[in-house]
Amino acid sequence: MVRAFVLLALGGPGPPRPAPCRVLYARAFGNPPETDNPPGTGDPPRQRLRRKEQLLAVARQVATQCQLLQSSSGRPSSPQLPQLPDEPMPLQDAPGGLFQLPPGDPFPERVTVAWLSVVALAFALVCDPQENVSLAEITLRRLVPRLLASLRLLGPGADVLLRPEAADVLLDRLLPHGQMLFLNEHFLQAVDREMGIKASR
């Protein structure tokens, strides 16, 4: 199962001033029953706080990994991509990767994180350790261009903050309740059709 999807702004040291890494949109799929926690930590505000902190911890790790990957490949901070807001974009060279977070930090169990980055944003799937990681990467590569288009993420607005239902619709189709789907290209077109997205090819 995918436990969560996180959309974050990478932040970084760049001009005009250093910016922190921020979670712009996050969706947790189900709330695991907290059976092992010490009593008293289970009350709702703390559970909610824990969830938010866990997702922020994931976001920070993704930002770090992204930064390190960028510097190791000698790539300067990505140039502006051409703005084609209505078409799903191919993401051949987008930096991305996989890493694990150990049990206890921040989730009680081990998790695997698959991430993909576009310009100053990153998208991450937090998966249970035995998940099909290849499918997670495919799912990300499908979610990202559709999110970029639907939320106009490359533009100057803040749709991602103000239109959570647009992101929810996409997730409900491509990652319903955290279930990754084995969709071949034709199935994917059928999904796009149902969402009203024009076919790109």
Range 93-112, binding another protein (CB under 8 A): 97-100, 102
**Could you say whether residue 198 binds another protein (CB under 8 A)?**
no
Q: Which of 48, 84, 85, 103 binds another protein (CB under 8 A)?
A: 48
x-or-dash string of contact with another protein, 114-153, rule CB under 8 A: -----xx-------xx--xxxx-xx--------------x
Q: Is 28 helix (H, G, I), strand (E, B) or coil?
A: strand
Helix then strand then coil, in percent of the chain rounded to 5, is 40, 20, 45
Q: Rule CB under 8 A: which of 156-185 touch another protein?
A: 156-158, 160-165, 168-169, 172, 176-185
**Could you say whether residue 28 binds another protein (CB under 8 A)?**
yes
**Could you say whether residue 83 binds another protein (CB under 8 A)?**
no
Q: Which residue's CB is nearer to another protein, number 38 or number 182? A: 182
CA distance 66 to 70: 6
Could you identify the residue written with the tokens 């955290």?
178
In this structure, what are the phi and psi dihedrals at residue 124, rounded to the nearest 5 degrees? Answer: -135, 145
* Among 128, 99, 169, CA closest to 32: 128
**Could you say whether residue 91 binds another protein (CB under 8 A)?**
no
Give the nearest distance from C-beta 183 to another protein in angstroms: 7
Token output for 140: 């990300």
Q: Which of 6, 9, 127, 140 binds another protein (CB under 8 A)?
A: 9
Q: Are 152 and 159 in contact (CB under 8 A)?
A: yes
